[in-house]
Amino acid sequence: MALRWMLVFLLLIDSTVSSSEDTLFVQTGGSVTLDIQKQELPEFDNLAWMNEKSDNIFRYFPKYIASEKEKPHPSYKNRADFNTETFSLTLKNMQKTDSGVYTASASGLSNIIVANHRVSVMDPVEAPVLSENICSFTCKGHNFTISSTYNNSCFQEESSGNYNLRLYCSGDFIICNHSNPVSWMNDTKKVNESCTNKDTRSTGQQSEYISWLIPLIVVLALIVIGVFCFYRNKKAVLPLTPRLLSV
């Protein structure tokens, strides 16, 4: 049971945005913040955030008057928030067509790249389906199928790309979890008592077998030692043969 809730907790701390190496994953309709990757920026006249199509989706001019400092691209006007202190850009209501590489460049005496992010917009996963047949379970999700028999410590996993399907046992529950970098869903079933009792009976039978096997081995060992000692002592006592004297 503790394992089950630990895994659930680890999955819950995933937000709609997660990062893996240089890629930022964001759920469809969610938001993503693109940060500057330079600790210190040189003085600049213009900072531009661009997508891989080389569109200036947002431009910032620090020396202009307040009303002209920020110039978002028309398609990002209502879904781009710029931070004038950190120069990060937050994009909202992301769609899969927004996936791609985003860069930021600062222009002044020279033109330097100050940020480079790959953004991947993904749909949330579909709910997995967990079915049972007596003590056997089948977990299905995203073209994956995993089957296992309950044994109180089962764990199987299938992965493809950014999608993952897990089937694992925790106490008297079996859990089917379907996840990707931006979402997760699971299906949980309580294991039939006959399965858990079967496991208990199996353990009990093993314990019972060991309980009578050990004394039997001890008795046989004592018999062997006794027989060995008997023949050893018998061999040590040699019979006295009378010597015949010639007349």
Identify which has the larger pLDDT, 115 or 150. Answer: 115
Determine the pLDDT at residue 170: 82
122: pLDDT confidence band, cut at 50, 70 and 90?
Answer: very high
Q: Running DSSP on this structure, what letter comes out for residue 69? A: S
Tokens of 158: 């299938």
Indicate whether 182 pLDDT > 70: yes
CATH number of the structural domain spanning residue 91: 2.60.40.10
**Does the pLDDT at position 42 exceed 50?**
yes
Residue 47 lies in a domain: yes
| Phi, psi dihedrals of residue 36, rounded to the nearest 5° | -70, 140
HSE toward the beta carbon, residue 21, CA cutoff 13 A: 2
Q: How many C-alpha atoms does 163 have within 13 Å on its Cβ side?
A: 16
Q: Is residue 94 part of a domain?
A: yes
Q: What is the mean pLDDT of residues 50-57?
A: 87
Segment 133-148 shows an average pLDDT of 89
Using a 10 angstrom Cβ sphere, with 0-12 exposed, 13-18 middle and 19 or more buried, the burial of residue 70 is middle
Q: Is residue 39 part of a domain?
A: yes
Q: Is residue 220 part of a domain?
A: no
- 40 vs 90, more confident: 90
Within 13 Å, how many C-alpha atoms sit on residue 28's CB side?
8
User: In a 10 Å sphere around its CB, with 0-12 CB exposed, 13-18 middle and 19+ buried, how is residue 148 labelled?
Assistant: middle
If you average pLDDT over residues 121-138, what whole number do you get?
Answer: 92
Is residue 51 domain-resident? yes
110 CB contacts (<8 Å, ≥6 apart)? Answer: 42
pTM of the model: 0.66
Among positive and negative, which fits the CA dihedral 18, 23, 29, 31? positive
147 three-class SS? strand
Exposure letters 84-93 (e unless 16+ CB within 10 A, then b): eeebbbebee
Q: Does residue 37 lie within any of the structural domains?
A: yes
Three-point CA angle 152, 156, 162, nearest 5°: 145
Integer angstrom CA distances of residue 208 from 56, 75, 213: 76, 74, 9
The answer on pLDDT for 209 being more than 50 is no
Residue 44 lies inside a defined structural domain of this protein: yes
CA–CA distance, 72 with 59 (Å, rounded to integer)? 6
| Domain-located, residue 54 | yes
- Find the mean pLDDT for residues 171-184: 92
Among 17-26, 160-169, 197-206, whose mean pLDDT is lowest? Answer: 197-206
> Which range is least confidently modeled, 52-66, 76-90, 115-129?
52-66
**Owning domain of residue 49:** 29-122
Amino acid present at 35: D
pLDDT in tens, 95-121: 999 999 999 999 988 889 999 999 999
Tally of domains within the chain: 1
**How would residue 236 be classed by pLDDT, with cut points 50, 70 and 90?**
low
